[in-house]
Amino acid sequence: MPGNSLKNNIDKEKLPKHVAIIMDGNGRWAKKQGLPRIYGHKKGSNAVREVVEACVELEIPYLTLYAFSTENWNRPKDEIEALMNLLIEALEQEMENLMKNNIRLHAIGDLQKLPEKTYKQLKKTLELTANNKTLTVTLALSYSSHWEITEMVKKIVNAVLTQKIKPDEINKTIIEQHLNTYPLPFPDLLIRTSGEFRISNFLLYQLAYTELYFTNVLWPDFNKEEFYKAIIDYQKRERRFGKVIDK
């Protein structure tokens, strides 16, 4: 199969430690099929499963998925409600697989904004998988970088006001320790589907030296083979982090 041959071309010594994905194109996929948008989101759940399985197989330890942004709260009420119900359903259905594959579920974002039923199911899943070690899957829910950076500033200001730190002690380490993503490592690779060339308020601080990969494939059509393509492309990059590499 094509996917297997692509997987065989992956250098296990040059794998990204952390892959982040902007899962875009569910609505457009549904429209192309003549279906309501929610069907695109349902089909997108299969793509999530494929990518999670691929990370486990390749032994990539961190995967972050941009599932719902703070801006998404501006979508039609019925679509938001359907998305939240779909999230509950997915969390319930995937619990067995998460435990069987030793996968820890993690979440970032303004989680208190989630509907109570959704938040309770999410919290339950986070607690039950907390000690799993093979792969950490982080869901960015009600998340945006503008929100995260604002919260980071508030936390540091409060730390200064309560004399836990001094203003001249604020540095890169202090800032990163107060980000919502702490202590996750920064992503090595960001994948965005559906042909859009932007990062849409996602991990703006953390993506400073991340390799970016854009594909025209709509998220519901994204599978292991497409994921392998992104990994192979990543492995062709020369990561310099601002340095000069002598040839």
Q: Is 24 a catalytic residue?
A: yes
Q: Is 110 a catalytic residue?
A: no
Write a three-state SS string for the chain: CHHHHHHHCCCHHHCCCEEEEECCCHHHHHHHCCCCHHHHHHHHHHHHHHHHHHHHHHCCCEEEEEEEEHHHHHCCHHHHHHHHHHHHHHHHHHHHHHHHCCEEEEEECCHHHCCHHHHHHHHHHHHHCCCCCCEEEEEEEEECHHHHHHHHHHHHHHHHHCCCCCHHHCCHHHHHHCCCCCCCCCCCEEEECCCCCCCCCCCCCCCCCCEEEECCCCHHHCCHHHHHHHHHHHHCCCCCCCCCCCC
Q: Which of 24, 26, 180, 221 is catalytic?
A: 24
Q: Which of 72, 85, 201, 223 is catalytic?
A: 72
- Rounded to whole angstroms, the Cα distance separating 130 from 103 reads 9
The catalytic residues are: 24, 72
